[in-house]
Structure 1
Amino acid sequence: MAAAPDHLFNLRNNFYLGAFQAAINNSDVPNLSPDDAVERDSLVYRSYIALGSYQLVVHEIDASAPTPLQAVKLLALYLSSPENKESTISSLKEWLADPAIGSNPILRLIAGIVFTHEQDYNEALKHTNAGGTMELHALNVQIFLKMHRSDYAERQLRAMQQIEEDHTLTQLANAWLNLAVGGSKIQEAYLIFQDFSEKYQMTSLILNGKAVCCMHMGNFDEAETLLLEALNKDAKDPETLANLVVCCLHLGKASSRFLSQLKLSHPDHVLVKRASTAEESFDRAVQSVA
């Protein structure tokens, strides 16, 4: 029996590769089942979240919406302002403890994303580790890499390869792992991003992936060209700005403008925090000898 056509393939792919506006623009897919319609809406709202349109998502998803969309609304609330974080996490834990909805894959995925943001990786894994969807497996790979456990990340990748080796998320997870392992694996990661750039529209995610590989291989001029192209696509993308800071330092160029932009648009970014800590340490050292 032939498999049913996957009506959401292009929408999912756009979302995974960071083409968020394209995902939104091409989301009017006909003949969707009720379950597919909910998945479509959750991907569209998550694309709006990725573009920073938190309030649109909060206003459009009302109390009658199904659980996956309510979970996406929680993510928008969590990211919209620091004051919302505590109440959002409290609601999230309440829902996860509810036997009727606690095992919903989108709710578990959002829980994983939120707790990863909180750097509470053990709590994140409680909800994501059982897998069940390719996105949950891919998030597990990211969490294990953040915990510096590339051995566990590799196990997750193997599970993804057994499900579907050519899946976009499997390829992305493979590239992330290759970057974490380093050495000769960097070239393999570069080829994955190169393949994406030939098949699909160029996005900040793909350009940053190629640029990070170039930096690992010492090709800082090529990395800078790729990152400036990414900056043209999204002037506030935190990864592009952070990578440009690092790239400029290696090229001996001024990086203060990119760091200032990063501080303004993403004050909680790890690079901003590290720079602030370094500045404070330097100031203390200067005062001690003054």
Structure 2
Amino acid sequence: MSDLVDDFYTARNLLYLGAYPQALSNLSTLPRTVNETERQSLQYRAYLGQGNKALVLSEIPATTPNPTLLAIRNLALLQDPALDLTIDAASLQSPTYTAITAQTLASAGQTDDALRILDMHPRNLECTLLTVAIYLSLSRVDLAQKLVARVRQWAEDAPIAQLAEAWTALAQGGSKYNEAYYVFVELAQASAVSTARLFCSLAVVKLHLGQHEEAQAHLQSALEKDPNDPDTLANLVVCASLTAQSPEVRARYLSQLAHVAPSHPFLRDLELASSRFDSALAAVAK
């Protein structure tokens, strides 16, 4: 796996594990002689992970000549109707530019375009992880499984590859739930960081296993790590319903989620389900 390790290996893994302060700290120790664009790309994505969208937009002007930094600016502007999704074809030679652009495209619903450009870097861990994430979002667990199996041949021990494997195992379900759980635990132990993302992942496994009290404990730990983590708040809503907590508790988490992430998929799905229920009720009442 030595060919996968570069100056940014640790920071990149910390970024995807959700350990944003640790990633920023690691980046601050690197000499300025390293690839400055790569350093900045990880730094600004860590800021976005912390919710510092305004800082990113203030430091990356719309007129920047750097395509990778402009791609990060677009990532920060995901909810802006004026978002420019134009792809700089020449910059697709860079796996980092490709990964950031693909993430923006996928978030905007252009999954085919995202997969097309990610396929240009089949041995890049970031591109591979994002490909797996898109496959899973499309319910193509079979394709995710095949990709994870191929990645094991050249990057089995890499934390990003393990993360892809855990996500896929979680999507497979059944006996794979426990496998996913132990991978998430190992990732936390190996990286020496317990992040909201990892605690939330552990909670999701426990929810699927019907172990609601343990899920609640993991979610509370995630909340302590990051009180504004959208996925944690969404799963707290689910857990509150499954454990018969008071409607006020559920409403509080929903309100907080709507405040920090008004476009979160959970809220969109909830609104759609509510709309369908109202339509069905209206049809019956006729």
Identify the structure with bigger relative contact order (alpha carbons < 8 Å, sequence gap 6+).
Answer: 2
Distance apart, 1:137 and its partner CA: 0.5
> In structure 2, the residue corresponding to 1:124 is in which secondary structure?
helix
User: Would you say 1:113 and 2:118 are equivalent positions?
Assistant: no
> In structure 2, the residue corresponding to 1:101 is in which secondary structure?
helix
Contact between 1:231 and 1:237, CA under 8 Å: does it hold in 2?
Answer: yes
Of 191, 212, 216, the residue aligned with 2:208 is 216
User: Would you say 1:267 and 2:262 are equivalent positions?
Assistant: yes
* Distance across 1 between alignment mates of 2:64 and 2:277: 54
Distance apart, 1:110 and its partner CA: 1.7
Distance apart, 1:83 and its partner CA: 3.2
* Distance across 2 between alignment mates of 1:30 and 1:237: 28
Distance apart, 1:266 and its partner CA: 1.6
| Structure 2 CA distance for partners of 1:238 and 1:4, relative to 1, 3 Å | closer
Q: Structure 2-normalised TM-score?
A: 0.88
Q: Residue by residue, what CA displacement relative to the aligned partner does 1:67-90 show, whole Å, maximum 9, x if unpaired?
A: 3223222222x23x42332xx21x
Map 1:160-239; keep pairs closer than 5 Å.
160-199=151-190, 200-239=192-231
Matched with 1:125 is 115
Q: Structure 1-normalised TM-score?
A: 0.87
Matched with 2:233 is 241
Matched with 1:39 is 38
Matched with 1:83 is 81
Of 144, 148, 151, the residue aligned with 1:157 is 148
The amino acid that maps onto 2:112 is N
Number of aligned residues: 278
> In structure 1, the residue corresponding to 2:92 is in which secondary structure?
coil
Distance apart, 1:275 and its partner CA: 2.0
The amino acid that maps onto 2:174 is G
Distance apart, 1:271 and its partner CA: 1.7
| Structure 2 CA distance for partners of 1:243 and 1:226, relative to 1, 3 Å | same
- CA-based RMSD of the aligned residues comes to 2.3
Matched with 1:252 is 244
Contact between 2:203 and 2:215, CA under 8 Å: does it hold in 1?
Answer: yes
Of 270, 275, 278, the residue aligned with 2:273 is 278
Contact between 1:224 and 1:247, CA under 8 Å: does it hold in 2?
Answer: yes
Q: Residue by residue, what CA displacement relative to the aligned partner does 1:125-180 show, whole Å, maximum 9, x if unpaired?
A: 11112324110011001111111111211222123212210000110001000001
Consecutive unaligned residues of structure 2, counting only runs of 5 or more, are none
Contact between 1:49 and 1:57, CA under 8 Å: does it hold in 2?
Answer: yes
Distance apart, 1:114 and its partner CA: 1.1
Percent of aligned positions that are identical: 32
Consecutive unaligned residues of structure 1, counting only runs of 5 or more, are none
| Structure 2 CA distance for partners of 1:147 and 1:56, relative to 1, 3 Å | same
Matched with 1:61 is 60
* Distance across 1 between alignment mates of 2:94 and 2:6: 21
